[in-house]
C-alpha cells in the first residue's frame, strides 16, 4: 500500500511501527492513529518503556537469559540446583518453564536453533559457551527443551554428540497428549509417541 | 496468561505494548523480545517517533484531520474546492480518499459514527462543528463517505435531516462491484445495488 501521508510525524511513526514483526503498513497506521487518540502521558510511557528496556536490559553472561545485572537472578540464586541445566531456544521458553514452577535447575539460552536452510550454524548460537559451562561447572544432567522440529532435533543431536564422552545424563522433555486434551483429537505423531513412551500407572 | 517476568523492565514494556489494540500479552511479549534483539538506536527511533508524533501532532481546527499546524494543509490549500465537503468517519478515510487523487474538495472528520449500542451519540462526534461550518462557509455540496453499515446509515440520516432546509446538494459514495472483481464473487447486496443504480453506458 502506498500511503500518501499528510504528516511526516505520522509517516515516521508508521514506518517505525511497521518494522515490528507481523505488523504491516496498514496495522502500523491503525496503531499510530490509536496512539494519536490517547493521552500524551500514555504514549510517552509506551515509548519510554521500550527505550528503557533496550537501554538497560542485558543478557546474563552465564545463561544468556535476559537480566538487569551481569548474572541473572536465576543463575545467582542459591536455591537453584546448579547441577541441572535446561537447554532452551529462546527467552520465552525460560519464562514458560519458570511459570510451571516445576523446574529448579538453571538454563542455557541458545538464541535459536541450527537451521542450514536459514543459514544458522552452530557458531551463530550459544553452543560454545554452553560447552565451556560443561567444562567449568559441575553439571550432572542436561535437559533438552527444544522444539520437536527438524531444527530442534538437529540442534539436540549436535549438542548430544559433544557430550558423548562426558559423564553427563542427558534427557529431553516428555512428549505426549496434553493434559485435558481429548485423545481423539491428538495428532497421530504425538499420540503414537505417547503410546510407545507409556508410563507405569500406579493409581495416583 | 499469567507471566512470571524475570525483569521489571520487560514487564513494563510488555504491559505498555499490550495496551495497543489487537495486541495481547503474548504478542506484546513477542514484540518486546524482538526489540531486545535490535540495535539500541533502532529501538530509540521507534520510541521517540511515537512520543514525538503524539506530542507535536494536532488536529485541524476546521476539519479535525491530523495536522502539524492549527489548520491542516488540505483546508488551507488554495487549490482545493472549498464549496465541496466530504464527510468521513476517520483520518484513515481521508488518507484513502486522498490517495485516489480524485477528490479536490475539503473534508470533515467526524471521529466516529453514531452508535447507540456502543453509547456513541451525535454529541460525541464532530457534528456540531460541521453544522457551524455549513453556516459560516459557502458550502454547496456535501458528500457522505461513511461505511455502509447501520451506524453509517444512521449517521448519514442524522446529518441529512439537519441539512434539509438548507440549499445544499447532498450525495453519497457510489456503491457497486469493485473494479477488477469477478461479478460471480460479488456479494448479493453490492451486486443488487449496482444493478438498481446502473449508469448510462456511453462506450467510453
CATH architecture of A8-56: Orthogonal Bundle (1.10)
Q: Measure in Å the smallest separation between the Cα of B63 and chain A Cα atoms.
A: 13
**Per the CB < 8 Å rule, is A57 touching B36?**
yes
* pLDDT score recorded for residue A184: 82
Residue B56 reports pLDDT greater than 80: yes
Choice among A102-106, B124-128, B181-185 with the minimum mean pLDDT: B181-185
pTM value surpassing 0.80: no
Query: What value of ipTM does the predicted structure carry?
Result: 0.73
Residue percentage of chain B with pLDDT more than 70: 96
What distance in Å separates the CA atoms of residue B5 and residue A53, rounded to the nearest whole number? 13
* φ/ψ (deg, to 5) at A13: -65, -45
Residue B48 reports pLDDT greater than 70: yes
**Per the CB < 8 Å rule, is B90 touching A33?**
yes
Q: Which residues of B touch A15 (CB under 8 A)?
A: 49
Q: Measure in Å the smallest separation between the Cα of A47 and chain B Cα atoms.
A: 4
Where do the domains of chain B lie?
A: 8-56, 72-172
Q: Number of A:B CB contacts under 8 A? A: 176
CB atoms within 10 A of CB A50: 26
Q: Which residues of B touch A4 (CB under 8 A)?
A: 95, 98-99
Average pLDDT, chain B: 89
pLDDT in tens, A3-17: 556 688 999 999 999
Q: Which residues of A14-37 are buried (b: 16+ CB within 10 A; e: fewer)?
A: bbbbbebeebeeebbbbbbbebbe
pLDDT in tens, A153-172: 999 999 999 998 888 999 98
What distance in Å separates the CA atoms of residue A61 and residue A151, rounded to the nearest whole number? 25
Q: What is the CATH class of B72-172?
A: alpha beta
CB atoms within 10 A of CB B187: 9
Write out the three cell numbers for A74: 536465576
What distance in Å separates the CA atoms of residue A164 and residue A167, rounded to the nearest whole number? 8
**Is the CATH number 3.40.1360.10 carried by domain A66-172?**
yes
Higher pLDDT pick, B194 / A28 = A28
pLDDT in tens, B95-120: 888 888 889 999 999 999 999 999 99
Q: Closest partner residue to A4 among B46, B90, B98, by Cβ?
A: B98
**Per the CB < 8 Å rule, is B30 touching A51?**
no
User: Which residue of chain B is at minimal alpha-carbon distance from A52?
Assistant: B9
Per-residue pLDDT band for B2 (boundaries 50, 70, 90) equals: very low
B46 touches chain A (CB under 8 A): yes
Q: Which residues of B touch A94 (CB under 8 A)?
A: 6
Q: Closest partner residue to B10 among A13, A27, A66, by Cβ?
A: A66
pLDDT in tens, A52-73: 999 998 899 999 998 888 999 9
What distance in Å separates the CA atoms of residue A59 and residue A64, rounded to the nearest whole number? 5
**Per the CB < 8 Å rule, is B54 touching A43?**
yes
Residue B1 reports pLDDT greater than 60: no
Amino acid at each position: 500500500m502506498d500511503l500518501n501521508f499528510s504528516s511526516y510525524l505520522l509517516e515516521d511513526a508508521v514506518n517505525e511501527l511497521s518494522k515490528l514483526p507481523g505488523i504491516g503498513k496498514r496495522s502500523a497506521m491503525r496503531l499510530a492513529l490509536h496512539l494519536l487518540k490517547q493521552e500524551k502521558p500514555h504514549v510517552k510511557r509506551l515509548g519510554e518503556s521500550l527505550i528503557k528496556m533496550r537501554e538497560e536490559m542485558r543478557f546474563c553472561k552465564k545463561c544468556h537469559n535476559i537480566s538487569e545485572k551481569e548474572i541473572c537472578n536465576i543463575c545467582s540464586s542459591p536455591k537453584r540446583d546448579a547441577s541441572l541445566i535446561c537447554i532452551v531456544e529462546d527467552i520465552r521458553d525460560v519464562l514458560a518453564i519458570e511459570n510451571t514452577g516445576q523446574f529448579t535447575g538453571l538454563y542455557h539460552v541458545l538464541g535459536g536453533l541450527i537451521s542450514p536452510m536459514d543459514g544458522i550454524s552452530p557458531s551463530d548460537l550459544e553452543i560454545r559457551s554452553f560447552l565451556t559451562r560443561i567444562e567449568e561447572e559441575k553439571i550432572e544432567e542436561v535437559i533438552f527443551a527444544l522444539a520437536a522440529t527438524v531444527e530442534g532435533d538437529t540442534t539436540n543431536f549436535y549438542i548430544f554428540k559433544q557430550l558423548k564422552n562426558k559423564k553427563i545424563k542427558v534427557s529431553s522433555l516428555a512428549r505426549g497428549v496434553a493434559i485435558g486434551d481429548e485423545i481423539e483429537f491428538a495428532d497421530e505423531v504425538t499420540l503414537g509417541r505417547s503410546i510407545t513412551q507409556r508410563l507405569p500407572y500406579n493409581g495416583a
